[in-house]
Amino acid sequence: MTVHLVGAGPGDPELVTRRGAALLARAEHVVYDRPSMAEIVALAPVATRHCVGKQGAIPAPPQHEINALLVTLGRTGACVVRLKAGDPFVVSRGGEEAVALAHAGVEVDVVPGVSAAVAAPAAAGIPVMVRQLSRTLTVVAGNDDVDEVNWAAVAQLGGTVVLLTGRAALRRVVAALLTGGMPPDTPVAAISAANRPHQRTVRGTLAQPPSARLPAPLTVVIGQVAALDVTAGCAYPQPEPQ
Whether the bond between 184 and the residue before it is cis, its omega within 30 degrees of 0, is: no
Q: State the nearest-atom distance from the C-beta of 161 to other proteins, in Å.
A: 9
Rounded CA separation 121/91 (Å)? 16
Distance of alpha carbon 134 from its chain centroid, rounded?
Answer: 21
Q: State the nearest-atom distance from the C-beta of 223 to other proteins, in Å.
A: 13
Q: State the nearest-atom distance from the C-beta of 207 to other proteins, in Å.
A: 22
- Taking the least distance from each CB to other proteins, the nearer of 96 and 185 is 96
- Taking the least distance from each CB to other proteins, the nearer of 17 and 199 is 17
Burial of 33 (0-12, 13-18, 19+ CB in 10 A): buried
- Taking the least distance from each CB to other proteins, the nearer of 188 and 194 is 194
Rounded CA separation 101/106 (Å)? 5
Q: State the nearest-atom distance from the C-beta of 198 to other proteins, in Å.
A: 19
Q: State the nearest-atom distance from the C-beta of 115 to other proteins, in Å.
A: 6
- Taking the least distance from each CB to other proteins, the nearer of 1 and 149 is 149
For residue 116, what is the DSSP state?
A: H
Sign of CA dihedral 42, 113, 32, 82: positive
Burial per residue of 3-21, b for 16 or more beta-carbon CB atoms within 10 angstroms, e otherwise: bbbbbbbbbbbebbbeebe
User: Are 182 and 158 in contact, with CB atoms under 8 Å apart?
Assistant: yes
* Residues at the interface with other proteins (CB under 8 A): 7, 9-10, 12-19, 21-22, 25-26, 43, 45, 87-96, 98-99, 110-115, 118-119, 121-123, 127-131, 135-141, 144-146, 148-150, 152-154, 156-158, 228, 230, 233-234, 238, 242
- Taking the least distance from each CB to other proteins, the nearer of 156 and 208 is 156
